Structures are given as C-alpha cells and as structure tokens.
Structure 1
Amino acid sequence: MARTPARLKARLRKIEAKLEKISQSPKSTRLPTPQAKQARFLECEADIAVYGGAAGSGKSYAMLLDFAKPEFVSNPDYGGVIFRRTYPQIRNEGSLWDESNKLYRLIQGTPKESSLKWTFPKGSTIRFAHLQHSKNVYDYHSAQLVRIGFEELTQFDEKQFWYLMSRNRSTSGLLPQIRATCNPDADNWVAKLIDWWIDPEGFPIPERDGVIRWFVRVNAELQWADEPKELIERYPDIQPKSFTFIPAKITDNAKLLEVDPGYLANLQAQHPVDKARLLDGNWKVRYEAGKVFSRNWFEIVSEVPTGGVVVRFWDLAATTADIRASSYYTAGVLMTWYKGVFYVLDLVTAQLSPGETDQLLLSTAISDGKKVLVRWEKE
C-alpha cells in the first residue's frame, strides 16, 4: 500500500529532528590545544604548581584545560575541585563557569548548574566551589580531593591553602596534585612562597621559570632544597613535596591579543603600580604612603640635556618629627622637562614646623638660582 503524503511528511519531520539532534551534539571529543606557556603548566609534574603572575596570561583557561586532561576524565574515580574565594567569582560573566561551558561540552561533559558540577561519560567529575569564609575549609574535613585548584591564590588565606593540602589524597590511582593561578601582590603570603623564582626588582627569573624545588613544612615554616634527598637527610620523618612557579604574561597569550588587542591598552592605562603588577608581572612593587614608584622605572643618565624647563615643586607638610614620628615630610623635587622627558635632578625632604618649612623653601630657592621656577600645591 502506498504511503500517504501525511505519513511521508511525518517521517520527514522525524528525520529532520534526528539531524538537528546530531548537529547539536559535540563535534569533537578533544579540548583545544593549549598555547606554549599553558602547555608547560599542563605538563608540569610538580606536586604543587603556581601559574601566571600577570593579567591576561590565560590563567583560567589553562586551569580548566589542566583539570580535564584525558587521563583524568577517563578515570571514573576522578573528582577535581577548583576553588574561588567567593561564589559570585565563579558565576560572573566570562568567569570559570561560563568558560567551562565552552570547553567541557566538547568532551561530552554534562553540567549541573545547581551544584556547579560537570560529569563526564566515564563518571568522573569536575566542580567549582567557594571558600568565602576561612572556616569553609572544614566543609572538606573528610574529603578526598585528588586534584585541587585555587583560582587567584592570593585571594585565599594561607591557612586555607595548607589545610586543603591535607585533603589532597586519592585511591583513584592518580597522583594527587594542587594547581593555582595568581596575580602579583607584594604583601601577600604567596609572594614569600614563590620568592626564590623572583629577582630583587620583582620580576620572574627566566632561568628559574618552571624549575622544580622541594620543601618540607616544619612548625609552619618552609625548608627548601633543590633535591628531595637533602630534606630527607635533614628531616627523615617528613615526606618532601615538590613545587614550582611558571610565570606568564599577556604576551604569552597570543590568542587574546589577536581577538582583543585593546585589552593590552587597558593594562597600559593603569596606575603605575597596577600596571607593573598586571602587565609586567612585578611582585615587589607596592602601594605605600607617599611611595608609589619603583626604582626600576627610572633610567639613570650621566648628564642632563640643557635647554629644558627647570622647576622645583613642593609638597608641603607642617608637623615636626618630635611631635609625631610618623608625620608626613615636606618634599621638594627639582626636575627638568626636555622634549617630553622628565629628568629628576634633586630631592629635598624634611619634617619641619610651618615657619621652618617657609625658611626651607626660601633657602632652597636661593640655592637653586633665579632660573629655576618654584611651584607648590594649593590645598
């Protein structure tokens, strides 16, 4: 019996529905290839690895790729947890949850938004969690966490990091490891943790990039060595752990520069301290009262060109040190401006009374000479 047009249309609709379903299914079961610096992070064998140290370096993307490596998601007993300090930081536009949706569907991950958890075909899981309060670490008191991630490690308490290290264990057959990303902060506990990898000016030492060292923690103090046997000899009852720091900057993220070249300009427009941290990856520069400059920003020259405008500019204070030792200084900077470049020639500072301050301005002006302009801020 011949098919009726109605039956034929119904069959076509079923075929179209199947084709639509196929078209919406993942076209790949592989994650994108990481960029060079990201690949070094993913390949690192250290027990603990910290990656980044500057903005725009692809830190979050590298963390997501690392947690979903094939040997992990193919293990049914694998469960990785990536922490952020607060819940909104996980769910903000373009943050971890959004980015994971772009990646983990490629490897047939199934999301459960209510618990911020991904489940993969073999039964392995990756989830995101927060540690807003220091006590939240005790929610994991009996947990076995084979892979722990700290996104922006400098935002976590040192106590949180070390406590969760005690939960870094597993019977899955996978090596328990900790991974972290961060931006520079000179006053943060992380700065001390990675200090061996940073030069006196605050920049990562190229020769130490990714070099693995070993440590034991004795009475809350870290004892370091280049080889584990050195520590085993000194502390035979403590098992050494391996650690490394892999620095990266926006220049290591060619894909971002290609897609959003304007982001580089955003970093260049920051305050000098923030620019040094976020763009240049400087771990020593800091905000301090009256100190927002780093010595390495200035070039030392043997002579100053003639013909420029010379000015002595004063920032005035009027409290002596015997009244308050922490009082502000009167400061007068002598500078030359020549062809768009400022040359610092001299600096006078003192903690003086109002009358003594006036006398200092007068005597300095006489010493500088009539060709030097004198200016000060009007409060």
Structure 2
Amino acid sequence: MWGSCRRGKSDALLMAALQYVDVPGYSAILFRRTYKDLALPGALMDRAHQWLDTTDAHWSENAKTWTFPSGATLTFGYLASENDKYNYQGAEFHFIGFDEGTQFEEAQYRYLFSRLRRLKGSSVPLRARIASNPGGRGHNWVRQRFLVEGQSKGRIFVPATLEDNPYLDTEEYENSLLELDYLTRAQLRHGDWDILPDGNKFKRHWFKIVDDYPRDGKVVRYWDLAATEPKEGTDPDYSASAKILQKDGQYWILDVRRDRLTPKGVEQFVYSTAMEDGRGIPIFMEQEPGSSGVNTIDYYARKVLVGFDFKGHKTTGRKEIRANPVSAAAENGNVHLVRGPWINDFLDEITSFPQPGVHDDMVDCVSRAFLKLTEEKDRKFAISPMVTGLKRKY
C-alpha cells in the first residue's frame, strides 16, 4: 500500500500494473470507486493514455482495456455500489489495483482477491496493491489492515511525503492546502492516519485522564451484547461494557471493554468480568424488545450471573439523545477517565460519534451507565475496587 497525497502513488500503481505486459496472457485491472473518478483529467485512464498512446498498445473504448502486442491486457473498472463487485465474478487477473482505496468498502476489496488467479507454472506473481490518502468512508478498515495489522500479516505499507515528488510545485501546492480545514490538511499533507474527525458530541480535551478515584461513590457496570464473530467482508458490532463511578456530580469511567465473540464466548466474557469486579457491583444489561429480550435477561440471571446483583434494562430513543447527559457532563469537566489500556480506543470512538460507519458500542454503554446512575438515586450501590490486570482485547 502507498499512502497520502501528491506523492506519485497513482503513477506507482499504474507502473505496477504495467510491469508484466510483455508476458502473454498477463492481465491487470485498476479500480476507482466510480467511472467519473477514472475519467477525470490526470486520473488513471488519462494518465495511461499519456503513457501509451504513442506505443503499439491498442485501446478499446467500449471495454476500457489496453491490449498489448503480447496479448496482455490492462483494464479499468469501478465499484460504485456494493453489488458491482459481482460484475467481475468470472474474471481472472494477475494484478488488481485500487486507487484512493479509502473510498471503497472492505467487502469490495476483499472480494476481488478471489479474482487473483494464474496458471500452474506461471512465473508472473499474483499481486494486489492499494494507494490512498487517509480519510474517507474506508479510513478505519484501511488503517486497521495496513498500519495496525500490516507487518504482522505480511502487508507492506509504504509511506511518503510531499517532498518525495520532485516534479510537483511544492510551494504552490502548500498554499492550496492552507485553504483546507486542519483535519483534511493533516491527512493530505502529512499522510496522518491517526488523526480522526470529531463528531458533534464530544471533544478529547473534555476528558481528564487520572490515576485514582474516590472509594465511596456509586458504581454500576452496564452491558450491551452482540454475538457475532467477525468474518471476511463483515464488520459486526461488539459486545461492550462500561463501569462508572459517581460521586458529588463527578463521574469516573473506571473501565470500558469490548470484544467480538460467539454467544458462548460472550457469556464467558460477561461472567469473568463480573468475577473480576466482585459480587457487590450492580450489573445492568440492555433488554431488547419482545420475548427474545426477556429470555436473554432470564437466561443470564439463572445461568450466567447467579449470585450477582443483575437486572435487565429497557431503553428507548436514539443513541445520540442518550449520549447528551454524558456530553454535557464531559464539557463541564465532570468526567474523568481512570488510566487503562482501553482509553485510546474509547476516545477514538467517542470523539467520532455520531458518524456513519463508526462503531458506537462503547459510547452507548457509557451513556446507559450514566442513565442508571441518575435513575436509581435511592438504590444502594457498591464501591468498586480499582480495576487491575485487564487481559481482554479492547
């Protein structure tokens, strides 16, 4: 993968696609999200014409394909909708490239790997390449795949800076970038994959990170369950939980955790967390509407959390509305995060909330735990020991 803006990544992608056009039977395809993106001045198709119009290669306007004297082909395609990936169901390619990869869905990207094929004994390698700036609808999955998992999964990320392109008028381009907002400028100029857009509910600087908390406040643990393991091309919700303490109008978020597990794995996740907290901590769990929600709460009360102070909790309304009390308390400086390995993921999620395509499981658990602390003023709450030895994935 190549990353960020005006660093020659599209040229590198096109060169990689053309690398084996002297080999009979070689086939490559380059994707943009829409046909319009392909056809823009300076975009991939235009650039290919600049390079190939004076060669022996033949261009087919109908097929959007260059055919070379060897019989090798380079095709241009697009994936405007999720189902467009099936247009290539019967095709075979040695090379597949995605320009501006964060504009694609992860399911589209993964599906096209099934089109990488070659004959036995072929010396041409099967390759997939992606070039992209940070930002866009696919920012999270691209970052996870190449920057987080990257090297451990054999995926190479090649960063670059504006200075790596000696043919660009750097000063003029810098002036153009000054017209952008700070977030977009950081993504395009510096290839910053870690900077995230703020939603309209929370700001990072509202939250105080602390090492200690009162021992005589009211404490609850709240759960929101999901029971779907991640599979190729999917991005399911998490089972998530938040543990919060309240005292004198101040709130300490002691622990937030999440995981994607099978139903049996979720049960063990809930039980082991309860044992870690201790039997004195009240536990609430979202109760889904209808009989299935009743049955789930009944099952956890009788089979999983026997002996714990456990209840189901029915909630209504939109998540954005439920988050308002937390947002107000945080803005007023009344929310503290007790230092732990969960904080970075939590801040990334809550400051992006609410945005399409961004998970909000941890945010919703915190919102509901706040609700229980304010609803149950007369309930006897336990005092939680400091959370230590967290071993779950966050």
Q: Which amino acid aligns with 2:104?
A: F
Alignment of 1:67-216 (within 5 A): 67-69=17-19, 72-171=20-119, 172-185=122-135, 187-196=139-148, 213=151, 215=153
Q: Secondary structure at the match of 1:178?
A: strand
2:157 to 245, 263, 286: 245
1:97 offset after TM fit, Å? 1.1
1:55 is the counterpart of 2:1: no
Distance in 1 (CA, whole Å) between partners of 2:11 and 2:91 is: 26
Contact 2:147 2:157 in 1 (8 A): no
Which string of whole-angstrom CA distances, capped at 9 and with x for unpartnered residues, describes residues 55-75 of structure 1? 111111111111112xx1111
- What is the TM-score when the length of structure 1 is the normalising length? 0.51
2:198 to 283, 288, 295: 288
Which string of whole-angstrom CA distances, capped at 9 and with x for unpartnered residues, describes residues 114-135 of structure 1? 2221111111110100011111
Q: Which amino acid aligns with 1:180?
A: I
Matched residue count = 214
Unaligned 5+ runs, structure 2? 206-320, 334-394
Distance in 1 (CA, whole Å) between partners of 2:61 and 2:94 is: 22
Distance in 2 (CA, whole Å) between partners of 1:126 and 1:164 is: 16
Q: Secondary structure at the match of 2:158?
A: strand
Distance in 2 (CA, whole Å) between partners of 1:160 and 1:192 is: 16
Distance in 2 (CA, whole Å) between partners of 1:101 and 1:291 is: 47
Cα gap change, 1:294/1:328 in structure 2, threshold over 3 Å: closer, same or farther? closer
- What is the TM-score when the length of structure 2 is the normalising length? 0.49
1:159 offset after TM fit, Å? 0.8
Q: Secondary structure at the match of 1:169?
A: coil
1:261 offset after TM fit, Å? 4.0
Contact 2:146 2:155 in 1 (8 A): no
Cα gap change, 1:323/1:247 in structure 2, threshold over 3 Å: closer, same or farther? closer
Q: Aligned-residue CA RMSD in angstroms?
A: 2.9
Which string of whole-angstrom CA distances, capped at 9 and with x for unpartnered residues, describes residues 207-245 of structure 1? xxxxx8353xxxxxxxxxxxxxxxxxxxxxxxxxx3210
Alignment of 1:30-41 (within 5 A): none
Q: Which amino acid aligns with 1:254?
A: P
Distance in 1 (CA, whole Å) between partners of 2:78 and 2:194 is: 28
Counterpart for residue 234 of structure 1: none
Cα gap change, 1:287/1:108 in structure 2, threshold over 3 Å: closer, same or farther? same
Cα gap change, 1:263/1:140 in structure 2, threshold over 3 Å: closer, same or farther? same
2:178 to 263, 268, 283: 268
Contact 1:110 1:118 in 2 (8 A): yes
Distance in 2 (CA, whole Å) between partners of 1:187 and 1:63 is: 19
Distance in 2 (CA, whole Å) between partners of 1:161 and 1:116 is: 20
Cα gap change, 1:111/1:286 in structure 2, threshold over 3 Å: closer, same or farther? same
1:332 offset after TM fit, Å? 9.2
Give the percent of matched residue pairs that are identical in Structure 1 and Structure 2.
30
Contact 1:272 1:292 in 2 (8 A): no
Distance in 1 (CA, whole Å) between partners of 2:203 and 2:164 is: 26
Distance in 2 (CA, whole Å) between partners of 1:323 and 1:195 is: 31
Cα gap change, 1:148/1:115 in structure 2, threshold over 3 Å: closer, same or farther? same
Q: Secondary structure at the match of 1:126?
A: strand
Contact 2:10 2:99 in 1 (8 A): yes
Contact 2:65 2:76 in 1 (8 A): yes
Q: Which amino acid aligns with 2:325?
A: A
Distance in 1 (CA, whole Å) between partners of 2:128 and 2:39 is: 22
Unaligned 5+ runs, structure 1? 1-49, 198-211, 216-241, 296-320, 334-379
